[in-house]
């Protein structure tokens, strides 16, 4: 059995703890199992990991915890429409979340590590590429709907013209029938 560490936590260890806990939440596992997994990897006790999570990290990852719980309820992360990639939220929401996550790290410590910046930029790049694909898809759908709208508008105009012609013919028919009725009444009056 290895000796448990008692030194202070660094940002990489905090990041590992947060990632593992969020994964366990998302997968429907317990946080205790996450603490045990991180403890083995970092040579710390599960209690120390649990204390660090509950006293220091949990409040910083509230939105991510909620997202992980939501994903657990959905019973697997669904593929993002139109791609093979998997997204937990829409690209726009992921960009916002990445920004707020970096803000939380920046607010809580005097400096941001290069690894955190690279991770953030990688997520932003991925999100912006997927956002661009989503925007292209919306643009394509918009043009298809626009074409359908124009087609329906033209058909509506043709039908309106036909309706106008039918109404004109109907009025003409009514006029002819009214004349015929008047002639019949006039002939009957002449006979009497």
Q: What pLDDT is stored for residue 88 in this prediction? A: 46
What angle (nearest 5°) sits at the alpha carbon of residue 99, between those of residues 48 and 26? 50
Encode pLDDT of 64-116 as tens digits.
Answer: 999 989 888 886 544 444 444 444 445 555 555 555 555 554 444 446 678 77
Q: What pLDDT is stored for residue 130 in this prediction? A: 74
Q: What pLDDT is stored for residue 103 in this prediction? A: 54
Residue 112 lies in a domain: no
3-state secondary structure of 86: strand
Q: How many domains does the chain have?
A: 1
- What are the φ and ψ backbone dihedral angles of 186, each rounded to 5 degrees? -65, -45
Using the 8-state DSSP alphabet, how is residue 3 labeled?
A: P
What is the span of the domain harbouring residue 13?
7-76
Residue 123 lies in a domain: no
Q: How many CA atoms within 13 Å lie on the side-chain side of 98?
A: 21
The torsion of the CA quartet 24, 25, 28, 30, rounded to 10 degrees, works out to 70
Q: What pLDDT is stored for residue 128 in this prediction? A: 77
Q: How many CA atoms within 13 Å lie on the side-chain side of 171?
A: 5
Residue 133 lies in a domain: no
Q: What pLDDT is stored for residue 79 in this prediction? A: 42
Residue 68 lies in a domain: yes
Q: Which residues of the chain fall short of a pLDDT of 70?
A: 1-3, 75-112
Residue 159 lies in a domain: no
């Amino acid at each position: 059995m290895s000796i448990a560490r008692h030194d202070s936590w660094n940002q990489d260890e905090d990041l590992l703890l947060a990632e593992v806990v969020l994964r366990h939440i998302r997968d429907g596992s317990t946080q205790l199992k996450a603490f045990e997994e991180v403890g083995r990897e970092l040579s710390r006790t599960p209690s120390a990991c649990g204390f660090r999570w509950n006293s220091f990290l949990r409040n910083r990852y509230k939105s991510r915890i909620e997202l992980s719980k939501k994903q657990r309820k959905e019973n697997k992360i669904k593929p993002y429409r139109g791609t093979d990639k998997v997204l937990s939220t829409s690209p726009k929401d992921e960009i916002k979340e990445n920004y707020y996550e970096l803000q939380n790290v920046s607010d809580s410590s005097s400096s941001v590590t290069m690894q955190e910046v690279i991770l953030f930029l990688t997520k932003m790049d991925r999100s912006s590429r997927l956002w661009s694909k989503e925007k292209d898809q919306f643009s394509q759908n918009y043009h298809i709907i626009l074409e359908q709208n124009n087609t329906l508008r033209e058909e509506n105009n043709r039908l309106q013209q036909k309706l106008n012609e039918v109404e004109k013919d109907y009025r003409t028919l009514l006029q002819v029938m009214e004349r015929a009725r008047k002639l019949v009444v006039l002939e009957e009056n002449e006979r009497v």
